[in-house]
């Protein structure tokens, strides 16, 4: 008997909060990548979303980006190298900081990031139309409350229990 036969699909109404947040987030990321590729921003794939997300990586150090994405510095540097090879960003020495490096968008990277923001605005309009403006505004308000609450600081990735600060 296969795994799927032993474990029937979970009914939507039985989904826990992790899936309820993850599934729409993944759909948004897939749409952003699809529309970026269709707009001529070739080579971008889902793993690149670890870099191309809020807040913008422009001006950040690779180590900070790795922390935001909750991945190793080595994995982040591989993603940055890929984006650099594709012409979306460059890594430069940080002024007056020894060996420190800083990520900067190229012109192409700025254009791709601006397009991603346009896609997100389209998605918000679509979700508002689907849910109704009042319910969509309530959804965002509730998510902002979670974002600003201690609930967002209780992650397993932070040894001190503090919420991540986006620099």
Q: Is residue 35 part of a domain?
A: yes
Number of domains in the chain: 1
The CATH number of the domain where 37 resides is what?
1.10.10.10
Alpha carbon 141 to its chain's center:
20
Query: Rounded to an integer, what distance in angstroms lies between the CA atom of residue 132 and that of residue 40?
Result: 32
pLDDT of residue 7: 66
Q: Is residue 117 part of a domain?
A: yes
Q: Is residue 136 part of a domain?
A: yes
Alpha carbon 48 to its chain's center:
9
Q: Is residue 115 part of a domain?
A: yes
Q: Is residue 162 part of a domain?
A: no
Average the pLDDT over 90-107 and give the result: 89
Distances (CA, A) of 132 to 28, 105, 127, 137, 138: 19, 36, 8, 9, 10
Is 3's pLDDT higher than 70?
A: no
pLDDT band (50, 70, 90) for residue 61: very high
Domain housing 146? 16-153
pLDDT of residue 159: 40
Mean of all residue pLDDT scores within the chain: 88
Check: CB of residue 62 under 8 Å from CB of residue 91.
yes
Q: Is residue 70 part of a domain?
A: yes
Is 161's pLDDT higher than 50?
A: no
pLDDT of residue 121: 98
Average the pLDDT over 76-104 and give the result: 92
Average the pLDDT over 8-34 and give the result: 88
Q: Is residue 160 part of a domain?
A: no
Q: Is residue 158 part of a domain?
A: no
Residue 89: strand, helix, or coil: strand
């Amino acid at each position: 008997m296969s795994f799927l036969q032993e474990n029937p699909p979970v009914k939507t109404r039985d989904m826990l909060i992790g899936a309820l947040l993850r599934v729409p987030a993944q759909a948004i990321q897939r749409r952003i990548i699809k529309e970026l590729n269709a707009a001529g921003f070739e080579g971008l794939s889902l793993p690149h979303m670890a870099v191309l997300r809020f807040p913008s990586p422009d001006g950040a150090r690779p180590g900070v980006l790795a922390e935001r994405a909750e991945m190793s510095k080595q994995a982040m540097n591989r993603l940055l190298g890929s984006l650099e090879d594709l012409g979306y960003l460059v890594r430069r020495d940080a002024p007056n900081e020894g060996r420190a490096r800083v990520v900067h968008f190229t012109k192409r990277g700025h254009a791709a990031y601006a397009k991603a923001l346009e896609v997100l605005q389209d998605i918000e309009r679509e979700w508002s139309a689907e849910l109704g403006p009042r319910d969509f505004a309530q959804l965002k308000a509730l998510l902002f409350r979670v974002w600003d609450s201690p609930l967002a600081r209780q992650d397993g990735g932070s040894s001190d229990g503090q919420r991540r600060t986006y620099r």
